[in-house]
A and B are shown apart, each in its own frame.
Chain A
């Protein structure tokens, strides 16, 4: 175990000190922070300012806030509208001054408030319509989908990027033949395990930083108010699923990487892994828009697709805990299986330098 930790320690130190890691992390953090803050900047206004000249302030229903401002005469109100100090001005309770066409929502609000005020003064009381959903609770749907999209992108980048680093590291050691020296003092499983654990920690540092940036951004922008219940569970789930997905693909990548001896061949030999990952990504992305559909439901139980589809499903729609748990257990079994197979391939292939080795030959022990 000590050997494994030594190897892992070196991987972490090497990566964390590299420029690529720091630059990449800063970019990701800024990007995710910006994305989670963006709705505040880009979304429509959720409050209006309306001027009033010799008018009653109309009672506005609903969540939208209207800030009233009184003006002495129409001239002053007109100027305020043109200057953009207010979005519209109500004059004498009958006319609305605007700069060009009025914002649709504000127009509707003012019209219905005006109508109500008129009817109210005629002695009629109106009971507002009670809204009742007979479908799923969709109050958080937009936020849930947003979170799911961001998750797919982050998970994809990290789950594809980190195993890639594992494969490159394996080939680096193989091509420089340093592996010959390493394996006189380390068992193959220690070298492979240390590499996977170390780079996994680096990936996890990335993920935690990015998730934290997203949460901070969302809190700062006020978006966090719309977070669905169980947000903490979603975050923890993402971390766990990342670890599982990473382990699966990292073992896969290490086994394939150990078949070649030159860096130029890495991309090529990893094709089966990248293809699997692309399919996983595609299904996960599709699941964002249809988290309760058949495809998403089935894929969320099949490893390795489940590693990305299940967290997306859980974020995009409410998912029963037992389903998440079953899917998790299946994934853990897949990870163990792939790791054992990968360790076997790695052990047999990593000292055979030269031409690319056929996977079948290694598995059969030729």
Chain B
């Protein structure tokens, strides 16, 4: 499956001030995979993406594409949406999208055709002749996306593409990205909206203080977190859970036990002896919980 795979290997970056921005960051995105990049502000998401796009040079480490080093010519086939949005404010919408298509090497005809399709898909048909500065922020964001998509990129790298979008626009963008992924394109995007990442992404990378603290599919991360049982018992005497590992909290007349005890049947028997079992199940941590655990 090396085909259209994007990898980073041990990326390191130190800024002039001596601050270590990235410390051996490695991850891989398979073709057609949606990779969610999460981390606190300043953790290194943007730095990583900028290095992948060649806007920044890593001190060491390598970005690899299709099993080989990634050069300028291959990168030209990537689509990029930087965190700080950048468009020519006074340029007209369609003209701008077309211009970027030409810069990515499309012929005038191909750029025009791709622009026409994108404008229609993104609901900008009415605005093609308007200057970008006259558009709402949401619409400007659509133009920005169109600029990243116009040349039918081999890889998509999007820094916070969902920030500032209303729920409908989020869905539209999510669908646009899914469609590209279905076409075999590796899609990498960063986001603070963890529920969105959980919903959309095949795999996730969690970065903290420049280090990749966890990466893999959401299920893998859950497994790594360890299986936990959650038991809610009503009317139990305190102390019933003695001898069982885990955390016991009291909520009114209910007692809640979260345990990683391997022997679920033993836990269940203990709970049933103690009182009325209202809930017994395997805990499925959300990405938010995994994230908090990972960066703690």
Contacts and interface: CB of A to CB of B under 8 A. Distances in A.
- Per DSSP, chain B at the interface is loop
A177 B85 contact: yes
Interface in A171-208: 172-173, 176-187
Given A6-B102, A6-B103, A178 B88 contact: yes
Nearest to A5: B102
A351 B51 CA distance: 12
Interface residues of B, number: 28
B76 A185 contact: yes
B3 interface: no
Contacts of B89: 176
B55 A183 contact: yes
A184 B105 CA distance: 12
A364 interface: no
Interface residues on A, range: 20 to 34
Interface in B146-164: 147-148
A366 interface: yes
- Per DSSP, chain A at the interface is helix
Task: Point out which of B54, B87, B91, B103 has the most chain A C-beta atoms below 10 A from its C-beta.
Answer: B103
A6 B99 contact: yes
Interface string B96-114: 0001101111000000000
Given A6-B102, A366-B16, A184 B85 contact: no
A176 B85 CA distance: 7
B82 A185 contact: no
B86 A184 contact: no
Interface in B53-109: 53-56, 72, 75-76, 78, 80, 82, 84-91, 99-100, 102-105
Contacts of A185: 76, 100, 103-105
Interface of A: 3, 6-7, 10, 14, 172-173, 176-187, 351, 353, 366
16 contacts: A3-B103, A6-B99, A6-B103, A7-B103, A14-B88, A176-B86, A178-B88, A180-B53, A180-B86, A181-B148, A183-B55, A184-B75, A185-B105, A186-B103, A351-B56, A366-B16
A-B CB proximity, top 3 nearest: A178-B86, A177-B86, A177-B84
